[in-house]
Chain A
Amino acid sequence: MSGRSLRVPEALVQRIHAHGVETYPHECCGALMGKDGETAREVVELLPLANRRNDSPRNRFEVTAEDVQMAEKKASELRLEVVGWYHSHPDAPARPSEFDREHAWPWYSYIIVSVQQREPRDTTSWRLRDDRSAYDSEAIESVAEPASI
């Protein structure tokens, strides 16, 4: 555990779950748009995106550079920034895989939801270490409404 936490309104957690169920048994993905403060990070809005890994959507997801730029533009229009990404692990634990780590960027929060037999289970968040050696878990602080940082 890194000691960091990520505030996420409960309604957005539910939307991530719903997206994971909708795309099951394929992985879902999307952008976390919010604010990164000195002491806290908060998700304010989601941007669900298409999984571009058409060849292997059951165990892989991809957000293209074009989609990343589009998400950054949307976030900027809302006076937010892209603070991370979410994706689902169908019938697999909500823990980052080695493949996740190899492809991760630092700084971003990565939310993973485990969807077992079409039922959303654990939801976790992770940040890559500076040296890329591992992820640290980041506590999800579920809040009723977005709060200003």
Chain B
Amino acid sequence: MAVKVIIPTPLRPYAGKKESVELQAATVGEAMSSLTTLFADLKKHLYTDDGRLRSFVNVYVNDEDIRYLRGDQTPLREGDILSIVPSIAGGTQN
């Protein structure tokens, strides 16, 4: 399945400055895996050291959050658009 992945501005320097990337993938997990294989520098910003998607990284399939679908196992259809959308968090230490 040919799908498009929209890269958020802060990650474009690690993805050849591209706004989007077209990939072949059957699931969200496959698409994310292909993306980080193509652009290895993206991986540390998207995943923790133990391989989990970082809590402030949100992935949408056609505007639906994959947390409300089937996560990494969410199936993709031809022409689907995946968006990686940041959430922003922080605060003092204590």
- Measured CB to CB, the residues of A under 8 A from B are 27, 29, 53, 56, 59-65, 68-69, 81-82, 85, 87, 89-90, 92, 96-100, 103-108, 110, 130-132
Contacts and interface: CB of A to CB of B under 8 A. Distances in A.
27 contacts: A56-B91, A60-B89, A60-B90, A61-B89, A61-B90, A61-B91, A62-B88, A62-B89, A63-B89, A65-B58, A65-B86, A81-B9, A82-B9, A87-B90, A87-B91, A89-B91, A92-B93, A96-B90, A97-B92, A98-B93, A100-B91, A103-B89, A104-B90, A105-B11, A106-B10, A107-B12, A132-B45
B46 to A, nearest CB: 10
Contacts of A56: 91
Given A105-B8, A105-B86, 11 more contacts: A59-B92, A61-B90, A68-B85, A69-B85, A82-B9, A97-B92, A99-B89, A99-B91, A99-B92, A108-B10, A131-B44
Interface residues of B, number: 24
Secondary structure class of chain B's binding surface, majority of residues: mixed
Nearest to A114: B92
Nearest to B65: A65
A130 B58 CA distance: 20
Interface of B: 8-14, 41, 44-45, 55-56, 58, 65, 85-94
B88 A105 contact: yes
